[in-house]
Amino acid sequence: MAWSGEELIIADGEGQLHLVEPSFGTRRLFKVAPEPMRLIVSSGQGSARRLATIDRHGHLRVYAMDGTMCWEFATGVLASVQLAFGAPGLIVVGDTLDRRSLFLFSPDGVVVARARVPARTVALPRLDAHPLLARSLADGLRVRPFGTLLGSESATEHHLLVSGAHLLGVASGGVTLWREASGLAVTVKLYDVVNAALSEDGETMALATRSGGVSVTVARPGVPRVNPGKVSGHEGPVAGLAFAQKGKWLASLAERVWVWGY
């Protein structure tokens, strides 16, 4: 699922896209390839917008918003996949069978750069330059420009999620927020946490648990341990959380999708 302004786009297992407008309901869009593993939508308006999906076999496809497929590429990435729009056009990071790889694509699908990166590396997209690369190590967050060494030390167990220029690290017992790649950390404790998201203004954090609970809290130092339960109805691990770019909306994804105000 991915937000485009105040509209939420969801892909089902058959590849059918559904557009959810929280105040007005749901309608169908076009179909993409089945079993999409990740889905993102670029910023911009009208025909300039692009939608990118990657399936469970690592096949990347980019579509115009009228359903026309613009280009495709077999990346081979199968797990821990990150998709992001930034310079030079589209960024893909993910695990193949034997390594973690990063691809940089131009807007028309040309591979600008391809590199092997250390385990648990994520990319911080930038609009005017190649991305920054980040890892969470025992001595803190390490951020380097693309093309420089990140080091071979073992990463911590944090599952890193990118939110604009910020990073969220999900680990057993809580979520750590690093603001603007500065290394200054805020940690919110929550037992059994499996997912997290940060609002567009960077002030609100959502956390979700393996048992289906979701909580919302302020993203600042001194926050006590939070308790799940804002959303009832999820019966299993929450696979996705996403704040809308506009408005006070949060989407949570498990065996069903909830869209709610906060």
CATH classification at residue 122: 2.130.10.10
pLDDT for position 232? 59
pLDDT for position 160? 95
User: What is the dihedral sign for C-alpha 141, 166, 18, 46?
Assistant: negative
Indicate if 120 and 163 belong to the same structural domain: no
Residue 150 falls in which region: left (phi positive, over 0), alpha (psi -120 to 50) or beta: alpha
Exposed/middle/buried for 64, CB within 10 Å: 0-12, 13-18, 19+? Answer: middle
- Which is nearest to 226 in space by CA: 241, 243, 213? 213
Indicate if 83 and 165 belong to the same structural domain: no
Residues with pLDDT less than 70, the chain: 45-46, 181-184, 223-225, 227-233
Indicate if 193 and 249 belong to the same structural domain: yes
pLDDT for position 225? 63
pLDDT for position 246? 84
Indicate if 3 and 120 belong to the same structural domain: yes
**Considering the domain boundaries, does residue 141 fall inside one?**
no
pLDDT for position 189? 85
pLDDT for position 183? 55
Indicate if 199 and 89 belong to the same structural domain: no
pLDDT for position 22? 85
**Considering the domain boundaries, does residue 150 fall inside one?**
no
**Considering the domain boundaries, does residue 122 fall inside one?**
yes
pLDDT for position 42? 92
pLDDT for position 233? 61
What is the domain extent for residue 23? 1-127
pLDDT for position 170? 95
**Considering the domain boundaries, does residue 36 fall inside one?**
yes
pLDDT for position 242? 94
What residues contact 199, with CB distance under 8 A and at least 6 apart? 205, 206, 219, 243
**Considering the domain boundaries, does residue 238 fall inside one?**
yes
**Considering the domain boundaries, does residue 140 fall inside one?**
no
Q: In what order do the strands lie in the sheet with 166-171?
A: 159-163, 166-171, 174-178, 185-189
* Both tokens assigned to 244: 């809308």
Helix, strand and coil in the chain, % to nearest 5: 0, 55, 45
* Tally of CB atoms within 10 A around 110: 12
Indicate if 123 and 1 belong to the same structural domain: yes
Indicate if 84 and 177 belong to the same structural domain: no
Indicate if 78 and 24 belong to the same structural domain: yes
**Considering the domain boundaries, does residue 237 fall inside one?**
yes
**Considering the domain boundaries, does residue 146 fall inside one?**
no
